[in-house]
């Protein structure tokens, strides 16, 4: 993997290939964060964590990324200079969520870069 793609996260093949329903739920765990940033992946994770390791992995990764984004935004809002940088996490989130959605549709496991893995 080249250095540029490491900034976009890492991918790997799952042990058991996902079926189309699992891919769809994995895609939704990323895309729905535009509507409900923490709630959507949390609900998908809680519903599917025992049924599908593929969906659980994507929902958990999406949830961790959204929690990290919220923490970054809170830190930026506390500092004066941070108010001028509030647009940056939004653009980064947009790009990385699109990358994660593409990886989920390809049936690959994806890990966001620079993410606090609070939900294990």
Give the pLDDT confidence score for residue 17 in this predicted structure: 87
Cα distance between residue 85 and residue 104, in whole Å: 29
Sequence-ordered list of residues with C-beta below 8 angstroms from that of 71, at least 6 positions apart, any chain: 116
pTM confidence score: 0.87
Residue by residue, pLDDT tens for the chain (120 residues) are 444 456 677 888 888 889 999 999 999 999 999 999 999 999 999 999 999 999 999 999 999 999 999 999 999 999 888 888 889 999 999 999 999 999 999 999 999 998 989 888
Q: What are phi and psi of 11, to 5 degrees?
A: -130, 160
């Amino acid at each position: 993997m080249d250095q540029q793609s490491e900034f976009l996260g890492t991918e790997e093949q799952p042990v058991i290939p996902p079926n189309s329903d699992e891919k769809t739920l994995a895609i939704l765990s990323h895309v729905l964060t535009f509507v409900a940033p923490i709630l959507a992946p949390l609900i998908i994770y809680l519903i599917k964590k025992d049924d599908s390791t593929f969906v659980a992995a994507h929902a958990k990764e999406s949830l961790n990324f959204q929690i990290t984004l919220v923490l970054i935004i809170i830190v930026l809002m506390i500092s004066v200079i941070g108010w001028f940088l509030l647009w940056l996490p939004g653009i980064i989130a947009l790009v990385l969520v699109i990358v994660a959605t593409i990886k989920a549709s390809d049936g690959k496991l994806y890990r966001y870069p620079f993410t606090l893995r609070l939900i294990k």
